[in-house]
Structure 1
Amino acid sequence: MTELSVHLADEAAVAQWAQSLAPQLGQGGIIHLYGELGAGKTTFARALLQALGVQGRIKSPTYSLIESYAVDALAIHHLDLYRIADPGELEWLGLDELLGDHSLILIEWPERGGSELPAPDLILQLAHAPAGRDLVVRPLSAWGEAWLAATSPLLSTA
C-alpha cells in the first residue's frame, strides 16, 4: 500500500487537509491518529468533525475517553486513549458496538489500546517540525487507499 509524507506549514494546513478528507468518509471507517502531545491530532479531529457537519462545541474526549456524534446516517465516535494505562480498560467502552456500517471511528493514542482496537483503514502520524507539522499517511485497507488517492493531490500542494 502507498504511503505519503508531507509537510503541513501550520495549523490551518492541518485543518485544510482534514476538510479535504471529510467527503470521502460518508460510509464510515477507522482512522488511527498518532503523534506526541501537541502534534495536531485533536486539531485534525476537530476540523474533520466540523467538515463532516458536526454542529456546536466539539469537546476533546481526553477525560471522557469517547465523544459521539451523529450526522445524517453517519455515527461518529472520537476516542482519546491518552489516559488509558492498560488496553484491558477499553472493555467497558463497548467498542464492538461502535463498529458497523456508517460508523466513523477516530482514535487518538491508539498505541495505548493495543490489540483491543479495531484495525484502521488509515493511519495518520503527525509530528512537530521546525515550522508546522510533518504528516505521514498510511492506508491499510482498500478504503484507506481510495481516501488517500482522493486527497493526496491536495497534500502535495500543502
Structure 2
Amino acid sequence: MKKIILFLLFTSFCFAQNTLHYNDEKGSEKATLQDIKWLAGNWKGEAFSGTYEENWSQPFGGSMMFNFKLVVEGKIVFYELGHIVEKDGTLEYQIKHFDANLNGWEEKDQSEDFKFIKKEGNRMYFDNFTFEFVSENHVKVYAYFEDSNEEMVFNFKK
C-alpha cells in the first residue's frame, strides 16, 4: 500500500510541474522568434476570478510585443506590457506591470526579465514560464509564482 501511495505522489508531482528554473551554469539554448511565432494573435481566457485578453504581435524588428489586460467584475485590475526579444543568439521574456491608472509597478527603468532555457517539442521554456502550443486556437502558458510557490496554467483561446 505504501508503495502505491508513494508512486501516486511521485507521478502527481512529476506531471504537475510544467515550469523550469534558469540555471546560469547551463545557460540558454539557441533560439529565434521563429521558434515561437505561433504565439502571435489575439487571445482570451479566465484567471484570477476574471477575464483576460493578451495580444501578441508577429515577429518584427527582433521582438514580439504583447499587451495583457485583466478585467474583474467589469473593472480593470492590471495591465502588462512586454516582449520576447532576440538577444545574444537566444530569447528573453521581459514584462512591465501597470495598475488600472497606468501607474507602473516596477521602477521606471526596471522590468521583470526571464531568460530562455530550452525548446522541447511544442514547448518553449523560460525561467518560471512555459509557452505550449496546443493548436492554432489554443495555447497554454504555465507560470510559476515564487512568492506563493504555486504554478498556474492560463488557457489562451482565439
The verdict on a shared fold, with TM-score over 0.5 as the criterion, is: no
The two structures have a TM-score, normalised by structure 1, of 0.32
The two structures have a TM-score, normalised by structure 2, of 0.32
**Structure with higher strand content:** 2
Asked which structure has the greater RCO (Cα within 8 Å, sep 6+), the reply is 1
Which has the larger Rg? 2
